[in-house]
Amino acid sequence: MYLWCFLHLQLQHPALLIILSIFAAITHTLKVEGATARSSYQISWIAYGASFVLLTPSETMIVLIVAHAAEWFWHRSPWYIALFNLTAFGIIATVASLIWQLISGDSTPFTPISALAFLIAAAGFTVMNHLMVGLVIWLARGENLMRSGVFNLLTLMIDFISFGMGIASGLIWLVNPYAVIFILSPLYLIYTTLQVPSLQHQTRLEPKTGLYNTRFFSETLENELERADKFDRPLTVVMADVDLLRNINNNYGHLAGDTVLIGIANTLREFVRDYDIVARFGGEEYAILLPETTLEQALPLIEQLRQNVAAAQYEVSTSVTPLSVTMSFGVAQREAQGQSTEQILHNADLAVYRSKSTTRNRVCFYDNGEIKDYSQGEVPTIQPEELGEDHLPNKIPQLISVTKQQRATAFATATTLPSQLNSMPQVAPPKTPVVTADAAAIVQEKQLGKQSKAEKD
C-alpha cells in the first residue's frame, strides 16, 4: 500500500505537505493518557483530517509515515507496535478516501453531498481505527471489544471530533488560509482538557502501589452489590493482610517494606481478571472484589494466589538475600438479598483475622456464620459433588493456569450454576447468623483493642 503510493507519488502540494507533516509529527508525540492505563488521546487526528481534504492520498501517506516515525523516535515504543499503527492508519485512510469518493462523486468539497461524504468518511475512519486496535487486543490478550474499552463513547467522540476539526480546517484553508488560525487557536485548551479523564482516573488510585484506593473500592462494591441483588448474581470479596511486614520495616528499612508492598500489588494485579477490582485498604491490607464469582469458584484461585505471593522474592539494597513474605486471606461472598457492604466486608475481615490469629499464610472464609480454613481442607457448606460434574469447582484443577488469559476465560465461561440449582427450594437465611464458639471467640478477641492487635502481629 505504502509502496504503491510512493511509486505513484506526485507532489502537488509540497508546501502544505511540509506544514502538515511537521504539525502531525509534533501533535502525534504529545500523547495524553486516557481514562484507562491502556488508552491515550492524540490531537494528531486534526492533522490527518486536514490532510484528508488538502492533500492527495499519496501525500497523506507521507504525513502518516512522518507522524509515526516521530512518535517511535520520541517514545521508543516496540517496533512491531509502531509498524502495526502505521499500517492500520494507512489502510484506514485508504478506505476512508474511497468512501468519500464513492459518495461525493464529482462534487466540489462545498456541496451538501460532499459534507455528508466527509461526515461518513470521518465516522468510518474512527470506527475502523478502533475496530482494528480492538481486534489486536482481543487476539493478544483475550479481551473482547467491550471489555478492552476501545469502543468507549468518550474515546470515540474525541477521535471523531478531532478528525472533524481537521476536515473543517482544510475546508476553511481552501477559502481563506489565514482564517485557519481561528480553528487552531483552541488547540492548547483542547490538549489540556484531554487530560481531565486521566486526572479523574488518578483520583481513584493509591499513589504508592498504583492500585485502586479505598474510596473507589467501596463505591464499586456498593454498585456491584446492588447489581448482584437486582439480578441475583454471585459476588465475592477478599481481604488480604501482609504477614509480619513490621519486621521487614524494622530490620531492613521502610524502603524495603515499600518494595514488598509494590511487588505484592503487582502480583495481585496480574493474577485477577481485568474487570476485578484490587485496592490497597491500608498500610499492609489489600482488598479484592470478584463480581460474578461464587465462594466455591474463588477459594481455589485465592489459594493459588497465596502460593504465588509466598513464592515471590524481592530484591532490596539493605539485604544480601532477596526477601520473601506471606499473606493471610479472608474470603466472604454475598449470602442474602439486601446484604450491606459493611456486612460483607466485616465477614471477610473476620475470616482474615482468623487467618492471622492462627499460623498466618492461609486462606480462611466466612460461611453462613462460621469461619473455616480452606488451607486446612475445609470447604463451603455446598459441596461440589452435589452440583454435578459440570460445576466449575470440579474443574478447578484443570482451569487454574499461569496465564492471565486462561484465568479470565475460566472466570467468564463458568459463572452460572447448573439448571438443577434453579429447582432447589429457596431457604431464607436466618435473621440472626449462627455463630460458632470459634467465631464468637474471634470477635471477642478482636475487640480487646491495641494489645490483642499487637499480639497478633
Same domain, 188 and 226: no
Helix (H) or strand (E) holding 41: strand 40-41
CA 328 to chain centre: 25
Same domain, 312 and 198: no
Task: At 331, give phi and psi (nearest 5°).
Answer: -125, 135
Residue 363 inside a domain? The answer is: yes
Q: What is the pLDDT of residue 385?
A: 40
In DSSP terms, which residues pair with 240 in a beta bridge? 286, 329
Q: What is the pLDDT of residue 6?
A: 53
* Residue 278: how many other CB atoms lie within 10 Å: 23
Q: Kindly state the cell numbers that stand for 292.
A: 460474578
Residue 145 inside a domain? The answer is: yes
Per-residue pLDDT tens over the stretch 142-195: 667 766 678 888 888 989 999 999 999 999 999 999 999 888 888 888 888 777
Helix (H) or strand (E) holding 278: strand 277-280
Write down the pTM of the prediction: 0.58
Same domain, 169 and 244: no
Same domain, 178 and 47: yes
Would the pLDDT of 443 be above 50? no
**Rounded distance, CA 429 to CA 336, Å?**
7
CB 121 within 8 A of CB 99: yes
CA dihedral 344, 371, 369, 279 (to 10 degrees): 0
Would the pLDDT of 444 be above 70? no
- Residue where the block lists cell 490538549: 191
Same domain, 254 and 132: no
Residue 27 inside a domain? The answer is: yes
Q: What is the pLDDT of residue 41?
A: 80
Same domain, 188 and 233: no
Residue 248 inside a domain? The answer is: yes
% the chain with pLDDT above 70: 79
Same domain, 234 and 181: no
Would you list the DSSP string of 317-378?
TT-SS-B---EEEEEEE--STT--HHHHHHHHHHHHHHHHHTTSS-EEEEETTEEEEGGGT-
Q: Kindly state the cell numbers that stand for 382.
A: 455446598
Would the pLDDT of 450 be above 60? no
pLDDT tier for residue 442 given thresholds of 50, 70 and 90: very low
Q: What is the pLDDT of residue 407?
A: 45
Q: Which of 66, 43, 51 is nearest to 12 (CA)?
A: 51
Residue 375 inside a domain? The answer is: yes
Mean pLDDT of the region 257-282: 91
Per-residue pLDDT tens over the stretch 278-329: 999 888 999 999 999 999 999 999 999 999 999 999 999 999 999 999 999 9
CATH number, domain containing residue 251: 3.30.70.270
Per-residue pLDDT tens over the stretch 355-399: 999 889 999 999 988 999 998 888 887 544 434 444 444 444 443
Same domain, 266 and 303: yes
Same domain, 115 and 163: yes
Mean pLDDT of the region 438-452: 41
Q: What is the pLDDT of residue 3?
A: 57
Residue 7 inside a domain? The answer is: yes
**Rounded distance, CA 255 to CA 307, Å?**
24
Q: What is the pLDDT of residue 142?
A: 67
Same domain, 228 and 196: no
More confident residue, 149 or 420: 149
pLDDT tier for residue 38 given thresholds of 50, 70 and 90: low
Same domain, 104 and 181: yes
Q: What is the number of structural domains in the chain?
A: 2
Would you list the DSSP string of 92-137?
HHHHHHHHHHHHHTT--TTSHHHHHHHHHHHHHHHHHHHHHHHHHH
CA 289 to chain centre: 14
CA 211 to chain centre: 11
Same domain, 32 and 160: yes
Q: What is the pLDDT of residue 4?
A: 56
Task: Please identify, among 148, 168, 202, the residue that sits at the C-terminal boundary of a domain.
Answer: 202
Task: Please identify, among 202, 237, 265, the residue that sits at the C-terminal boundary of a domain.
Answer: 202
Per-residue pLDDT tens over the stretch 77-130: 888 888 888 899 999 999 999 999 999 988 888 999 999 999 999 999 999 999
CB 28 within 8 A of CB 5: no
Task: Please identify, among 202, 233, 267, the residue that sits at the C-terminal boundary of a domain.
Answer: 202
pLDDT tier for residue 37 given thresholds of 50, 70 and 90: low
Would the pLDDT of 430 be above 70? no
pLDDT tier for residue 2 given thresholds of 50, 70 and 90: low
CATH number, domain containing residue 15: 1.10.1760
Residue 208 inside a domain? The answer is: no
Task: At 210, give phi and psi (nearest 5°).
Answer: 80, 5
% the chain with pLDDT above 90: 51
More confident residue, 235 or 402: 235
Q: Which domain holds residue 12?
A: 2-202
Helix (H) or strand (E) holding 236: strand 235-242
Residue 209 inside a domain? The answer is: no
